[in-house]
């Protein structure tokens, strides 16, 4: 199944030195640009963690359920869901939300495939523009 993303940010961040699941998940999400300075309460991370927990159980969650589980307002949850959807991590499913794939490795593989398709299109356009603009190939 192909899902369209609108924005993927990849940030090179040093991996946490000690093996700790919470730190590793924080690094994973930060590397995908999900956190910003304004998210002082780690609300996006909390939404992501709830989706991850429920994916393990094979369950999807509504924005109201996520708001209840995280203690966040529905508006805040919807804002973070939009961001998670735009990166390709989360998809809407029958009025609820789930991780794009059943595990994080497959989510990353799918995002990489998305990026490869975009890069292929960019390369083809770059070649056309180089020819049209008569730019020298090296």
Q: By percentage, how much of the chain surpasses pLDDT 90?
A: 49
Tell me the residue ranges of DSSP E strands in 7-115.
90-93, 96-99
Distances (CA, A) of 116 to 10, 98, 109, 122: 14, 23, 10, 10
Domains recognised in the chain with CATH numbers: 21-132 (1.10.10.10)
Query: Which of residues 18 and 98 earns the better pLDDT score?
Result: 98
pLDDT at 120 over 50: yes
How confident is the model at residue 75, as a pLDDT? Answer: 96
pLDDT digits (tens, 9 = 90+) for 59-79: 999 999 999 999 999 999 999
Contact 77, 63 (CB under 8 A): yes
Spatial CB neighbours of 64, under 8 Å, sequence gap ≥ 6: 74
The pTM is what? 0.80
pLDDT at 22 over 50: yes
pLDDT digits (tens, 9 = 90+) for 25-38: 888 888 888 876 56
Q: By percentage, how much of the chain surpasses pLDDT 70?
A: 92
Distances (CA, A) of 101 to 29, 38, 51, 108: 16, 28, 11, 9
Cα distance between residue 88 and residue 49, in whole Å: 16
Average pLDDT of the residues of the chain = 88
The two three-digit tokens of residue 127, written as one number:
């070649």
Residue 40 pLDDT grade (very low, low, confident, very high; cuts 50, 70, 90) = low
Cα distance between residue 102 and residue 99, in whole Å: 7
Within 10 Å of residue 78's Cβ, how many Cβ atoms?
16
Cα distance between residue 95 and residue 8, in whole Å: 24
């Amino acid at each position: 199944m192909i899902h369209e993303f609108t924005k993927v940010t990849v940030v090179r961040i040093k991996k946490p030195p000690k093996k700790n699941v919470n730190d590793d998940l924080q690094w994973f999400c930060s590397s995908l640009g999900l956190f910003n300075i304004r998210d002082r309460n780690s609300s996006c991370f909390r939404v992501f963690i709830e989706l991850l927990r429920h994916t393990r159980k094979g369950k999807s969650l509504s924005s109201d359920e996520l708001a209840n589980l995280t203690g966040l307002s529905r508006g805040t949850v919807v804002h973070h869901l939009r961001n998670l959807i735009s990166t390709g991590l989360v998809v809407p499913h029958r009025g609820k939300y789930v991780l794009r794939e059943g595990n994080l490795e497959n989510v990353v593989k799918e995002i990489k495939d998305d990026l490869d398709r975009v890069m292929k299109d960019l390369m083809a356009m770059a070649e056309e523009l180089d020819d049209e603009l008569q730019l020298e190939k090296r």
